Amino acid sequence: MRQSSLLDIISPIMVGPSSSHTAGAVRLGLLAKNVYDNEIEKITFKLYNSYAQTGKGHGTDKGLLAGVLGLSVDDVRIRDIFNSDIAKSIDYKFEYYNDFNRHPNAVDFIFEGKNKMQISGDSIGAGEIAIRKINEFSVKFTGKYNTLLLVYKDVTGMISKVSTIIQAENVNIASLHCDRSGKGETASMCICLDGDLNKNAIDKIKEINHLDMVRYVRKLGN
Amino acid sequence: MNINTFEELKNYCESSNKKIFEAAQENDAQKNDITVQELREIVKRNLEAMKEAIRTGLKSCEKSYSGLSGGDCQKLQAKFAQKSSLLGVIFEKITTYALATSEENARMGKIVACPTAGSCGIVPSVLISVSEETGATEEEQINALITAGEIGRIISNKVQLAGAVAGCQAECGVASAMAAGALAQLRGENIDNILSAVALAMKNLLGLTCDPVCGLVEVPCIKRNPFLGIHAVTAYELASAGIQSKIPLDEVIDTLEQTGQLMSPSLKESSQAGLAKTKTGLKLEEEFYSK
C-alpha cells in the first residue's frame, strides 16, 4: 500500500486555482527547465486535452512559463507573469491540441538554444507530475527524487559502470528505467536516487565512454 | 509504523497512550526523515499561509480571470456588519473565511491546498474561526492541523483525493471530514469522538459529484466551501454529544471509494454533465470560450 505523508495532504502553499492545472504546470516547467539545463532562447509549449481546453482559466499557460523561468508554485508573480520583466528575456509561444492518446493534462516543451530538446510530461493529480519523454526516449521521473539522466551509445556494461559509481557513494537506487532507439544505437537511462550524488561522482560518470548527455536533475523543493 | 486504516490508528493510539496528532507527527517525521519539531515547523508555516490567504481574501473584491467569481465575500461581510448571523459570530467567521480563501484561490492568489486547491477554504475557515473565538494557542492549532492531515492521509491510502477520480466527495467532502476531526481535536475530544466526527461528516457527503461550469474551480466549488465548513461543525457537535456513526469510519471510507468508482465519469471533473451542462452552464461556457 502506498505510504503517503500527512504533509502532502495539508500542502502545498501555492498560487491557485488548481493543483493539477496551476501548481502541476509550474512544477512541470521547473523540472523540464532543469533537464534542459541550458540558456533558453526560444520555447514552445504544446498543451493537450484538458490543459488545452481549460488551461486559460486555470492559469496553466502562466504556470508553465513561470516554471520554465524558475519560479516556485507559491510565487505570486505567476499571476502576471506575461507582463513581468523576467518573461521578456525569452521568446515563448503556446499551441493547443486535442489528442486522446495523451494524458488529459499533457504538455510538450520544445526548448531551443544551444541545442534543441523536446520534453513531454503529464500533470497526474494533486500537483504531482511525471516527465515521460525526452526527445525520442521514454523516461519516468517525478521530481520527487534526485534523478540521473544519461543518453549514450548502446554498448555492453553501461548500467554496471554507472551503478558502480553510485554504489561507491553509498547512494541507493530507487528506480531504473532504460530505453533505446535500436540495438547498438542510441540509448537512455533514467535513475532515481534516494540520496544525493556529489559533483565528484557526477564528474566520474561523465568520464565514462560513449556518453552523449549527462544530466543530474535535483528533486523539486515544493 | 505503517498505519493504513482508522482502526489501526485507534488501536495504536490506545495501546501507546497517544493522541492522534502525537502518533501522526512521530510516524510522519520518521517517514520524511525529519524531527518532530521540524515537521511542526512546516505545519506552522502552512497554518500561517492559511491565515494570510484569509486576510488577503477578506480585503479583495477582484473577479477571477473568467469573471465567474469574486465579490461574494465582500457581500457577506457587508451583510453581517449590518445584521448579525442567526447563528452567531463563529458562523459568520467560518462562512466569510471560507469564501475569502476560495475566492482568493480562483483569482490566482496564494492559498494552501487542503487537501486540494478547490477545497482550500474548508479546513482553515473552521480551524481559524474557532481558534480566534476560543483563544486556542498556536500549538493547539498545529495539533489540530496535524490531526486533519493524518485523517486525509489515511483516506488517501484508499481513495485518490481528486475530483477526476472520485468526484467532489473526495475533495470538499474529505476536507469537511478533516475539518470535523480537526475541530474535535481542537475542542479536546477523545479519539472516539474525533473519529465519529470524521465519520459523520464523510457519510453525509457521499456521492457528491464534481461538475464544474467551464471546467473551472469556481462554480459550484467556491460556495461549497462555506457550506461544508459549517457542515463540519454540525458533525463535531453531534459527535461531541457521543452520537456515533452506525457505520464505522473505515467502512464509510470503503463506501467513498466504491461510490467514486460507480460514479459516472461525466460527473467526475470532466464537465460533461451536471451543472456544467445546464442551459445556463452551457451559456457561461460559450461566453468563456469566446473571451
Question: C-alpha grid cell for residue A91?
Answer: 521568446
Question: What is the rounded CA–CA span in Å between residue B232 and residue B3?
Answer: 24
Domain boundaries, chain B: 6-289
**Average pLDDT of A152-178?**
95
A57 with B214: Cβ contact below 8 A:
yes
- Distance from the Cα of A73 to chain B's closest Cα (Å) equals 9
As a whole number, the mean pLDDT across chain A is 93
CA distance to partner chain A, nearest, from residue B21 (Å): 10
Q: What is the rounded average pLDDT of the residues B37-55? A: 98
Alpha-carbon span B85 to B91, nearest angstrom: 7
The pLDDT assigned to B33 comes to: 85
pLDDT in tens, B118-148: 999 999 999 999 999 999 999 999 999 999 9
| Average pLDDT of the residues in B14-37 | 96
Contact A16 B114 (CB under 8 A): no
Q: What is the mean pLDDT of residues B17-23?
A: 98
Partner residue opposite B110 with nearest CB, options A56, A59, A76 = A76
What is the per-residue pLDDT for A2? 47
Q: Identify the pLDDT of residue A1.
A: 37
Mutate to test the interface with A, among B43, B54, B108, B185 (most CBs of A within 10 A): B108
Report the gap between the CA of B176 and the closest CA in chain A (Å): 13
A82 chain-B contacts, CB cut-off 8 A: none
Q: Determine the pLDDT at residue A124.
A: 85
A32 touches chain B (CB under 8 A): no
Q: How many angstroms separate the CA of residue A20 from the nearest CA in chain B?
A: 9
**Quick check: A18 and B217 CB within 8 A?**
yes
Interval B248-257 mean pLDDT: 98
Please indicate if any CB of chain B lies within 8 Å of the CB of A5. Answer: yes
Residues of chain A with pLDDT > 70, as a percent, come to 98
Q: Does the CB of A19 have a partner CB in chain B at under 8 Å? A: yes
ipTM of the predicted structure? 0.96
A126 within 8 A of B162, measured Cβ to Cβ: yes
What is the pLDDT averaged over residues B64-71?
Answer: 95
A146-217: CATH topology: Alpha-Beta Plaits (3.30.70)
Q: Which residues numbered 53-72 in A keep a CB inside 8 Å of some CB on B?
A: 53-54, 56-59, 62
Q: Which cell goes with A103? A: 494524458
d(CA B89, CA B280): 35
Question: Does residue B112 contact residue B85 with C-beta atoms inside 8 Å?
Answer: no
Length of chain A as a residue count = 222
> Where exactly does CATH 3.30.1330.90 map onto chain A?
14-135
> How far does the CA of residue B86 sit from the closest CA of chain A (Å)?
32
* CB-based contact A152:A186 (threshold 8 Å): yes
Tell me which chain B residue has its CA closest to the CA of residue A11: B113
Give yes or no for A127 touching B (CB within 8 A): yes
Q: Nearest chain A residue to B68 by CA: give it.
A: A57
Alpha-carbon distance of A108 to A47, in angstroms, equals: 7
Contacts of B150 in chain A (CB under 8 A): 6
**Interchain proximity A6–B107, CB inside 8 Å:** no
pLDDT digits (tens, 9 = 90+) for A48-96: 998 998 888 899 999 999 999 999 999 999 999 999 999 998 999 999 9
CB-nearest partner of B113 from A2, A12, A79? A12
Contact flag A57-B288 (C-beta cutoff 8 Å): yes
Q: How confident is the model at residue A222 (pLDDT cuts 50, 70, 90)?
A: low
At residue B125, the 3 state secondary structure works out as helix
CB contacts of B145 in chain A (<8 Å) are 10
Return d(Cα B237, Cα A7) in angstroms, integer: 27
What integer is the mean pLDDT of A34-46? 96
Task: Say if residues B248 and B199 touch (Cβ distance below 8 Å).
Answer: yes
- Contact: A9, B114; criterion CB under 8 Å: yes
pLDDT of residue B269: 87
CA A141 to chain centre: 7
Cβ of A125 within 8 Å of Cβ of B66? The answer is no
Q: Cα–Cα distance between A3 and B161 in angstroms, integer?
A: 14
User: Backbone dihedral region of A102: left (phi > 0), alpha (psi from -120 to 50 degrees) or beta?
Assistant: beta
What chain A residue is nearest to B122 in terms of C-alpha separation? Answer: A10
Percent of chain A scoring above 90 in pLDDT: 85
Strands A186-193 and A128-134: unpaired
Judging contacts by C-beta atoms under 8 Å, the chain B residues touching residue A53 are 215
Q: b or e along A32-70 (b: 16 or more beta carbons within 10 Å of the residue's beta carbon)?
A: bbbbbeeebeebebbbbbbbbbbbbbbbbbbbbbbbbbe
Cβ-Cβ contacts under 8 Å, A196 against chain B: none
Residues A213, A187: Cα–Cα separation, whole Å: 10
Q: Could A7 and B149 be called an inter-chain contact, meaning their C-beta atoms sit closer than 8 Å? A: yes
- Percent of chain B clearing pLDDT 70 (strictly above): 100
Residue A40 backbone class (left: φ over 0; alpha: ψ -120 to 50; beta: rest): beta
pLDDT digits (tens, 9 = 90+) for B85-110: 999 999 999 999 999 999 999 999 99
With bands split at pLDDT 50, 70 and 90, how would you rate the model's confidence at A3? low
| B58 pLDDT tier (thresholds 50, 70, 90) | very high
Question: Taking CB atoms and an 8 Å limit, are B113 and A14 in contact across chains?
Answer: yes
**Angstroms from B279 CA to nearest CA on chain A:** 19
Q: Phi first, then psi: what are they for A146, rounded to 5°? A: -65, 135
**CATH of the domain spanning A14-135:** 3.30.1330.90
The architecture CATH gives domain B6-289: Orthogonal Bundle (1.10)
Mean pLDDT within B177-198: 98
* Cell 553509498 belongs to residue: A170
Q: Kindly state whether A186 is in contact with chain B, defined as any CB-CB distance less than 8 angstroms.
A: no
Does this model's pTM top 0.80? yes
